[in-house]
Chain A
């Protein structure tokens, strides 16, 4: 007989599972760890098999709420869904992300979870598909899960973009103003500049639109995601103002720096 107590033996064997770390690993607050596939998720618990020395096996069940963090490789569907979003394939993005959200849902507020990232993709897709209410509900869940502000702002920007596209200019303008007061991250500020620039463009205020679009290359030049839209907006505004010389400069910048962007394709029209 081992000198270890039964619990001690269990702990020893439990700990022995660990050195070979698996892709998904659960870290509990009491310092214990367990990995999949041996550990299984059952509802709101993690069920961990143990081997009893001397023969036999058993399982212990630990609540997910006792997790300190999880190590989980980024689901490839997340990147694929983001790519779909970027390409405007919102329904496809939604289809890809739903299973991931289902999988991550139990770990919504656990550090290391991919739930927030997935929820953002879903919310943005919903906003673009005109399902504003669903997107807003998800945005609120993100806030409650204490997702970073810039993550939540992505959803807000998608909703604002939808308002602009569907002619709700006044409402979009109000939300832009509100978000600008609160936003601190450059991604959001750049996206706001694009949204506001578009509103001004629609209102025929071309100079104001130009100066708004130019805030992106001037103050947030590292936000590449918004740069093509900013440059295209500047080109259009300058053309409307009759300043073809400067329009040509920005057109050339857009072509040379972002030759395959949808905005560059629009230049040809």
Chain B
């Protein structure tokens, strides 16, 4: 007899997590019924009852279970009771099970087990009973039956389990039923107590030994208990046990279905971390099994649940790579898209959704079309977004997102700045949308955009009317600030500045985003500046500061107030105003605006003439500020550093760079980095680096990056560390750091230095083409004109020389010492390189002339390159007397 199969493994899983389980390979009671007395093919009927039995067997084998049952029951009525009827009872029970009479089968199997406790079909009967209980949904009894079966696993006598594979199979069937009934805790407990493959093999082998011993004992007619046993029964059971062992030994993936069910239970119970443990185990142990697709699927969802989105995304990619044709692929692709959207990676999201689009159908397809539209929208692929949104509207007129899709399609015209007729197309599309969706939630936005279109068409009066109409329609809508700003823009365009100022003021008052607030106030400031209405600027911006003192825009408002005061001739008031504001934050290292305000104060003071009163010794700027701030006693390290920073800035503005550097160095050498703000760490670190104290400089830069991971001043640190690495010969590391300055920190302060650093790193790494591209960019940048230009030209010359084009190299070098005389380092190096290039070209006379010119140049008299030049000149003279 073959082991029972599991129940149909397609579980009624929760809607969010479907899992189609692989069927176990065994068939349910596939073999034909055995004849009465032995397991061989039935002999030619020798009696009526034998004939009846054979009829029954034939009926069973062709699936006519009613006839089979009738035949077997006739035998029971007519035959003498005895052991010979054992297979008949078993056959009846099996036939009832196959027929679907589960309750009947339960009764029949129970009868068999009671009547034949050592029967040849003992294990088959147990399994059949458990299976019938499962099918009859008598789960408590089925669970009891399986537990009772398990309890027999340690027994070596005739009651022990012959077929552990069968018990395992039944356990999985019961677990499937429990899962279908949402009894995941019970299913979990059942699965966790199931044996593993190795354990089953060991137990099965031991059982075979036990049965073999019993069989042998039966054959010799002797047993330990002296009882007579049926040789054939043990032969059947031994065969069954051996087949079971073979099944499990040949199936290396035996544990996989159990693990997948375990994972399913954990997921249903929202125990995602445990589910991850299980799925990882599946992927590790069964790297080649096709069913690992289910584990990957579960792992993706589990990783999402524990917010490991990048990992979930990577798993989606892996799934699509390993199982491109799997039925779950569309769902996985859609999930990958959603995860990518959550990670704000619209390009990747669009790629996933694109894949899902080609494979999906039904509800998944609807969602994918819409989401692909959203991804393209975010990528500013307006035509692509429109394609999807229009398709959505067309194919899903009652769809959940039809209104959203319709509106996005309409405004995609509006947003497409590359289309010269964008406003015309947008107006048409938005009007059509309004007509089709008169009650849409997007109406306020739609009417706002129509007003913008009128402005774009220079229909100013109509635009103002549209804004007024909008205010009547949507008096409490959140877009009011934008509409007011638009109206003010139109008024400004019409030259009605006073009206515009008032409207901008209304917009600023209504604003709930920094973007609109910044815009409106900025326009107010500019318009009032045109009118030179300083008191009003001071009043409006002071009012704004008092309303939102902690706004991140506050610094800009201080600027307006201070600038207006200064323009009005109230420089002291302006300076004092800023000092009052900055005083409150002087000991707050996290507030980078402090240094910006100190800079502005330095700018104001630097423009003033310095006239010490009554011939008294001049008061240092930092002392002056300290007095203004009313700081008693010795200020702490941070405040002290900030005072020095302020004074250094004053020196810089008064072109006293050396004094400024000394102050920065003092900050770097005397004060602990862990107390300082990001701007202080930046300038001090830079000063230390420039004087060669690279170790302490690195300390400052690393402190900046660690404590202020979002600071605007991070580019100082990246560039500084890059310089240190490059000087130490670690060009790859340096390149990464310079690149980080640009990519991670946007290099607001040190873009030139970062770019030069990248170019020099490429040069050091021998990546001459990349280096050349960057040096050319630097040399051409007018805003960077200066030493960077000289440096770049020099390096371009070196690149040309390395590439074998010496004349071209000479041209670059000559540009340096002809046009960039203010940079002696590069002038000297360029001269020397020119002479060397001429020598290599065999043009000794020109080389000598170059060296002589170099030696005569007083600006580079102290440069070390001169020694080389003299040596070369001497050598040329000796060679050419």
Contacts and interface: CB of A to CB of B under 8 A. Distances in A.
Interface of A: 184, 210-211, 214-215, 217-219, 221-222, 234, 238, 243, 246
Nearest to A210: B273
Contacts, number: 26
Nearest to A217: B274
Given A214-B274, A246-B273, A221 B192 contact: yes
Contacts of B276: 211
Contacts of A214: 273-274, 277
Contacts of B266: 218
A218 B193 contact: no
26 contacts: A184-B198, A210-B273, A211-B273, A211-B276, A211-B277, A211-B280, A214-B273, A214-B274, A214-B277, A215-B277, A217-B274, A218-B192, A218-B262, A218-B266, A218-B274, A218-B277, A218-B278, A219-B277, A219-B281, A221-B192, A222-B193, A234-B273, A238-B273, A243-B306, A246-B273, A246-B306
Contacts of A219: 277, 281
Contacts of A218: 192, 262, 266, 274, 277-278
A12 B817 CA distance: 124
Contacts of B198: 184
Nearest to B266: A218
A148 to B, nearest CB: 14
Which interface residue of A211, A215, A218, A222 has the most chain B CB atoms within 10 A? A218
Which interface residue of A210, A219, A221 has the most chain B CB atoms within 10 A? A219
Interface in B262-281: 262, 266, 273-274, 276-278, 280-281
Interface of B: 192-193, 198, 262, 266, 273-274, 276-278, 280-281, 306
Nearest to B278: A218
Nearest to B306: A243
Which 6 A-B pairs give the minimum distances between C-beta atoms?
A214-B277, A218-B277, A221-B192, A218-B274, A211-B277, A214-B274
Contacts of B280: 211
Which interface residue of B193, B273, B277, B280 has the most chain A CB atoms within 10 A? B273
A60 to B, nearest CB: 32
A124 B281 CA distance: 31
A218 B272 CA distance: 12
Contacts of B262: 218
Given A214-B277, A218-B262, A222-B193, 12 more contacts: A184-B198, A210-B273, A211-B273, A211-B276, A211-B277, A214-B273, A215-B277, A218-B274, A218-B278, A221-B192, A238-B273, A243-B306
A221 B280 CA distance: 18
Contacts of B277: 211, 214-215, 218-219
B270 to A, nearest CB: 9
A151 B555 CA distance: 72
A217 B273 CA distance: 11
Which interface residue of A214, A217, A243 has the most chain B CB atoms within 10 A? A214
A214 B306 CA distance: 15
A214 B263 CA distance: 13
Contacts of B306: 243, 246
B198 to A, nearest CB: 7
Nearest to B280: A211
A222 B277 CA distance: 17
A246 B273 CA distance: 9
A234 B193 CA distance: 22
Nearest to A184: B198
Contacts of B281: 219
Which interface residue of A184, A238, A246 has the most chain B CB atoms within 10 A? A246
A243 B276 CA distance: 15
Contacts of B274: 214, 217-218
A126 B406 CA distance: 77
Contacts of B193: 222
Contacts of A221: 192
A35 B262 CA distance: 53
Contacts of A184: 198
Contacts of A210: 273
A218 B277 CA distance: 8
Contacts of A215: 277
Nearest to B192: A221
A184 B199 CA distance: 9
Which interface residue of B262, B266, B277 has the most chain A CB atoms within 10 A? B277
Contacts of A222: 193
A233 to B, nearest CB: 12
A231 to B, nearest CB: 12
A157 B192 CA distance: 24
A184 to B, nearest CB: 7
Nearest to A243: B306
A57 to B, nearest CB: 38
A215 B266 CA distance: 13
Contacts of B278: 218
A218 B273 CA distance: 10
A217 B266 CA distance: 12
A246 B276 CA distance: 14
A223 to B, nearest CB: 11
A218 B262 CA distance: 9
Contacts of A246: 273, 306
A189 B548 CA distance: 61
A214 B276 CA distance: 10
A214 B262 CA distance: 14
A194 to B, nearest CB: 14
A266 to B, nearest CB: 21
A214 B193 CA distance: 17
A199 B193 CA distance: 29
A243 to B, nearest CB: 7
Nearest to A214: B277
Contacts of A238: 273
A243 B271 CA distance: 13
Contacts of A243: 306
A210 B262 CA distance: 18
Nearest to B189: A221
A225 to B, nearest CB: 17
A250 to B, nearest CB: 9
A234 B281 CA distance: 18
Nearest to B198: A184
A233 B503 CA distance: 62
Contacts of A234: 273
A217 to B, nearest CB: 7
Nearest to A222: B193
A215 to B, nearest CB: 6
A256 to B, nearest CB: 15
B30 to A, nearest CB: 33
A243 B308 CA distance: 12
B746 to A, nearest CB: 28
A66 to B, nearest CB: 26
A221 B198 CA distance: 18
B195 to A, nearest CB: 11
A222 B193 CA distance: 8
Nearest to B276: A211
Nearest to A211: B277
A243 B307 CA distance: 10
Nearest to A250: B273
A234 B192 CA distance: 19
Nearest to A216: B277
A144 B809 CA distance: 80
A210 B280 CA distance: 13
A137 B262 CA distance: 42
A238 B262 CA distance: 22
B150 to A, nearest CB: 13
A210 B278 CA distance: 13
Contacts of A211: 273, 276-277, 280
Nearest to A207: B308
A214 B198 CA distance: 22
Nearest to B202: A184
A131 to B, nearest CB: 35
Which interface residue of B193, B262, B274, B281 has the most chain A CB atoms within 10 A? B274
Nearest to B275: A218
A221 B188 CA distance: 11
